[in-house]
Structure 1
Amino acid sequence: MSEQSPASGPITDGPADPEHDSTATYALDRSYVASLTRRVLSTNGETHAVSSPIGRAPLAHIPQSSPADVAEAFARARRAQVAWAATSLDQRAAALLRLHDLLLDRQDELIDLVVWESGKARKDAYLEVAHLALTARYYARTAHEHLDPHRVGGMFPVLTRAEVHRVPQGVVGIISPWNYPLSMALCDGIPALLAGNAVVAKPDSQTMLTALLAVQLLDEAGFPPEVWQVVAGPGPEIGGAITAAADYVCFTGSTATGRLIARQCADRLIGCSLELGGKNPMLVLRDADVHRAAEGAVRGVFSNAGQLCVSTERLFVADQVYDRFVDAFVSRTQAMTLGASHDWSVDMGSLVSQAQLDKVTAHVQDAVAKGAHVLTGGRARPDLGPFVHEPTILEGVSADMQCFGEETFGPVVALYRFHSEDEAVERANDGAYGLNASIYTRDAARGRALARRIRCGTVNVNEAYGATFGSLGAPMGGMRESGMGRRQGAEGIRRYTEAQSVATQRLVPIAPLLGMSEETNARVMTVALRLLNKLGRA
């Protein structure tokens, strides 16, 4: 949906409560919105009004689901999953390849909708399209590698044939966040579909339209409509119904909610994967290319206005290059263009909501009140958009400040000097989180060695986060309170399956032959075991 599309409308200063104002000028064509929202399973007649971070323009009334609707969604998904699991793996993979092309063909429409709902810069919205297309292509091309039955060594060579099958979990419940409304809406679900599961998804209320357009593309790519059900509503009201009915749960969001979901899944003895919070460090070593590190820091800190789970919030810089790095980093940050619009020229877009703006503002004000210094930024910019906040660099942040250990999830970073690399690693590992880290150095081998000492699920050398996040064969997820389980790679699809071992025994039983005593059988077995060891068998 490009800006010239008839589905688009003007950016307006709509009322704060468009649900009760019939004169509100909507940003999107009503029939277009209706075509998307009819995919939400809702029977109670309730709706939730959503406005854009761009000028508070009204967007839609999203139908709301009840716990009974969630139960019905799972019932429909279960019926559809049986036939879908019987569909050949090649057919499922082919649908993913069609989705890949549809995402690229419809990228303008997708990008426009992402920007309307999230307020992010257009270039950041494009990266969602690219990441999702990469994910679809990767899993389609590697489907047999990850899911085909494979032979393993049997108890006795020739006599025992053993193989491992990947059996679908059944119906997967996916709860996705607002910060990456396209990528996160589907990137965890499409490997679940490829593995033969059905999905019941609950996208965040702020960004439902993007998620619903993505589901429409699934239909166009050839996935049966019933295998992906969509429900909508507040997590406290319907989240429990999802974890109570799912065979596996995938959640991306806060650590507090992740703990709750983990307890609920544990009670039912079902699996879950949780990508949670982070307070991600970047290390700039004494031999780093200062300008390359500064450029990487700008992307690592301010992409998507800092509303990225793997974004950098703590920046540790070696004494030897600290002053030069700070000069370069501040200069590059001050050169950024800000705004809340669909224009490609915007470097950093808006925060998503008043709640996010309030949190960012509170963290900055608390730090300044307790002695931190603002090197650049530090204030909201209502002249550019209702939720726009300047990219902010802080110096002198101490442990008594909120932004020291709490995740800000906004365009704010704290700078720290370090004297030795051991100290830098210790400080990077400080705290409860362990999601992403980055290291800048001219010695890549040294950077990789240092990376292995950092307790994070992903570590990038000479890149902020894109090297690991864009390498689809590499698992991505958190250590410690940053979560459990992994997306991407083999782990990202096999989490949606159960391993089933099937072994066939030939000619002789694994028991004493007819007439043989247990004692004699034990001696024969011992000879056989010694022989297999000498032959180097596993």
Structure 2
Amino acid sequence: MPLPHRLEERPLPQDLLSELQQLSTNFATGSLDSSEHHAVNSPLFDEELGWVGTGTDADVDEAFLRARKAQKGWAELDVKDRVKIFRRFHRLVGKHRELLADFIQLETGKDRTAAYDEVLDVLNNARYHANIAPKLLPTVKRPGAFPLITSTSLQRLPKGVVGQISPWNYPLALGISDAIAALIAGNAVVAKPDWSTPFSNLISLRLLQEAGLPHDVLQIVTGSGEVVGGAISQKCDYLMFTGSTQTGKILGKTVGERLVGYSAELGGKNPMIIAPDADIEKHIDTIATACFSNSGQLCVSIERIYVPESIYDEFLRAFQRATESIVLGKGLNWGYTMGSLIGPEQLDRVQGLVDDARAKGATVLTGGKPRPDIGPYHFEPTVLTNVGADIKLATQEVFGPVVFVQRVRDIDEAIFLANETSYGLNASVFGKPETARDIAERIDAGGVTINDGYAATWASISTPLGGVKESGVARRHGEEGLTKYTEAKNISAQRIMPMRGPRWLPRRFYGSLMTAALRLGRFLRFLP
């Protein structure tokens, strides 16, 4: 169907949209004759964007059957040949960046900058994993138990078929970046995107096919989390999940009972600390971006800010001014800085939490209401003060454009309050480098960003990133983000004589001899 004219700065090719709809039923689920369709609606307008197939248990079974057959040949390819495909994919993503950003905006309603963040993330991941895979995946020699008589090597084998369940808030970045690492490692992948945002995943599949990825190595099954997500968790050899802590616990129990590996990035209630020596005027726009990028709908978004009383009033004035300068809008263009919430349920959640805070005595410094004059699910960037412990959003993740600012006596109190949570995903510190680093090292979080909200930490892809406490397990990014999708095999060979010495050696001398040999090895640096 044609898109509304007011959004057609760059209309999507209708034949491509039709092809992606067919991918969701034919290639992905195997339901060649399926008439079960699920409507996909855009937050930007009241008309249907398109549809995808409604996956079933049988569709997931079929996807795994195909994936397991394809994975064997895929794993047998030399890693350098697999890497070539992802270098071509990297070029295709760059070539089609505008089209990808269009899809992201139409599916999520986010602003163009946030949409481009997703495109850049996929480019970053494709480049990084293509560069490190030839170094990490081939079999390598390691120091043996004893020089000369023991040799050992590390072999990395793919897990098999990796299951992936990704959310709606970053459908391209979280839908394909993790899959890139799993695929380069030699796995097949069966993925379930959130079915409110499936097309970003499906166009990635289309580009991967064009780059040369063999058919059936990546399967995308669209459907509900309960049916399709549950079935994937019951069949995969490893599970990658990004989403809520509540769902993450359920999936963790499922894969744990199967003794299957699991990586999860979950919820957060991310704090920011403003040090007394922070340059507020220099950083205030960055601080606002840390809170309101993508309308606050990202796991690493800042939701609470702790400010020492010596600079509290100055900070609050500057932060209110920066927040009120944010431009709300919609459309496939760069003309605004904050877009829409994903849909009516998210709008109701955000409004409900703000109303609860206001009713219990919190002060709405700015914002606090929806903006139907701009779009059906737009909500103003909102700053609260005087948020008491009995207010829900004091501890609950809002996942929307709402942040509260709290006055503290000093940095010690700020750090205590920042850590006083069951979450530990992301944190941010603003201040002079030495001051900020000292604070950062005392915060309980998987990532802490100094003088930025989260972008520097997220984009520093060579370092592993994830959550502690109830914010997740395992890591994406870094070498670990690739090797987690492999099984490490130790292959060791003994030469000349057995580990316990020759037959003629009296047993009573064995312990003394081995101890002396270990000391000598350390002295000569033969052993680690």
Query: Under a length normalisation based on structure 1, what TM-score does the superposition of the two structures give?
Result: 0.93
By how many angstroms is 1:522 displaced?
3.9
Structure-2 separation of matches of 1:408 and 1:375: 17
Deviations 1:207-263 (A, max 9, x none): 101110011111111111210001011111122210111000000001010000100
* Amino acid in the other structure paired with 1:450: I
Q: Which residue matches 1:475?
A: 464
By how many angstroms is 1:297 displaced?
1.6
Structure-2 separation of matches of 1:149 and 1:318: 53
Please state if 1:486 is matched with 2:480.
Answer: no
How many residues are paired up? 518
Q: Tell me, yes or no, if the aligned pair for 2:266 and 2:471 is still in contact at 8 Å.
A: yes
Q: Percent identity?
A: 43
Deviations 1:383-406 (A, max 9, x none): 100000000000111111111000
User: 1:85 is matched with which residue: 71, 75, 78?
Assistant: 75
By how many angstroms is 1:12 displaced?
7.5
Structure-1 separation of matches of 2:93 and 2:2: 19
Q: Which residue matches 2:508?
A: 519
Q: Tell me, yes or no, if the aligned pair for 2:275 and 2:435 is still in contact at 8 Å.
A: no
Question: Does the residue aligned with 1:525 lie in a helix, a strand or coil?
Answer: helix
Q: Tell me, yes or no, if the aligned pair for 2:30 and 2:62 is still in contact at 8 Å.
A: no
* Amino acid in the other structure paired with 1:218: L
Q: Which residue matches 1:22?
A: none
User: 1:495 is matched with which residue: 484, 491, 497?
Assistant: 484
Question: Does the residue aligned with 2:356 lie in a helix, a strand or coil?
Answer: helix
Q: Which residue matches 2:4?
A: 10
Question: Does the residue aligned with 1:187 lie in a helix, a strand or coil?
Answer: helix
Q: Which moved more, 1:36-45 or 1:296-305?
A: 36-45
Q: Which residue matches 1:34?
A: 18
Question: Does the residue aligned with 1:226 lie in a helix, a strand or coil?
Answer: coil
By how many angstroms is 1:527 displaced?
3.4
* Amino acid in the other structure paired with 1:514: R
Q: How does 1:40-439 map to 2 (within 5 A)?
A: 40=24, 41-43=29-31, 44-439=34-429
By how many angstroms is 1:78 displaced?
0.7
Structure-2 separation of matches of 1:446 and 1:265: 42
By how many angstroms is 1:335 displaced?
1.4
Q: How does 1:457-468 map to 2 (within 5 A)?
A: 457-468=446-457
By how many angstroms is 1:524 displaced?
3.3
* Amino acid in the other structure paired with 1:487: R
* Amino acid in the other structure paired with 2:88: R
Q: Which moved more, 1:233-242 or 1:461-470?
A: 233-242
Q: Tell me, yes or no, if the aligned pair for 2:55 and 2:224 is still in contact at 8 Å.
A: no
Structure-2 separation of matches of 1:342 and 1:126: 12
Q: Tell me, yes or no, if the aligned pair for 1:512 and 1:518 is still in contact at 8 Å.
A: no
Structure-2 separation of matches of 1:8 and 1:463: 41
By how many angstroms is 1:56 displaced?
2.0
Deviations 1:464-513 (A, max 9, x none): 00111011101111000001011100111111011111112122121341
Q: Which moved more, 1:138-147 or 1:423-432?
A: 138-147
* Amino acid in the other structure paired with 1:198: A
By how many angstroms is 1:523 displaced?
4.2
Question: Does the residue aligned with 2:414 lie in a helix, a strand or coil?
Answer: helix
Q: Which runs of 5+ in 2 are unaligned?
A: none
Q: Which moved more, 1:33-42 or 1:179-188?
A: 33-42
Question: Does the residue aligned with 1:39 lie in a helix, a strand or coil?
Answer: helix
Q: How does 1:440-459 map to 2 (within 5 A)?
A: 440-442=430-432, 444-459=433-448
Q: Which moved more, 1:475-484 or 1:88-97?
A: 88-97
Q: Which residue matches 2:493?
A: 504
Structure-2 separation of matches of 1:341 and 1:281: 31
Q: Tell me, yes or no, if the aligned pair for 1:11 and 1:54 is still in contact at 8 Å.
A: no
* Amino acid in the other structure paired with 1:298: A
